[in-house]
């Protein structure tokens, strides 16, 4: 997976396959669902900084991390606002669906 290939559909598929598994822990940079997905897809430990809206390889200086796509940043922020415990694939998938609706709505002028 190339670092820029952060596709919502690919992430959704990864979550759906893990419907009943714990896929992440909110509030932890290297344990969030997005971080775990990126780590699994690349074979390297990745982190997600929700406050900065960035992601990157754990061994890289955080100032070199890249911006998350809008959907991924919204997903991370909403996840941290709603969950304080372990998140299953189903929990994350449901939240991702709401994020997708919000992003599509804002693009079409609805949000």
Q: How far apart are CA 47 and CA 66, in angstroms?
A: 11
Please report the pLDDT score of residue 111 as a whole number. Answer: 45
Residues 6+ apart with CB under 8 A from 60: none
Domain limits, the chain: 8-103
Angle, nearest 10°, between helix axes 8-17 and 89-107? 160
pLDDT given for residue 16 in this prediction: 97
| Whether the model pTM is above 0.75 | yes
The string of pLDDT tens digits covering residues 1-23 is: 444 567 999 999 999 999 999 99
Confidence band of 31 (pLDDT split at 50, 70, 90): very high
């Amino acid at each position: 997976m190339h670092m820029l290939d952060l596709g919502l559909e690919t992430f959704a598929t990864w979550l759906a396959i893990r419907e009943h598994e714990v896929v992440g822990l909110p509030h932890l940079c290297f344990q969030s669902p997005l971080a775990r997905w990126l780590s699994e897809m690349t074979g390297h430990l990745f982190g997600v900084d929700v406050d900065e809206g960035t992601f990157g390889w754990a061994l890289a200086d955080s100032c070199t991390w890249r911006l998350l796509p809008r959907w991924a940043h919204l997903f991370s922020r909403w996840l941290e606002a709603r969950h304080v415990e372990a998140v299953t694939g189903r929990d994350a998938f449901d939240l991702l669906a709401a994020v997708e609706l919000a992003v599509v709505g804002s693009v079409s002028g609805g949000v």
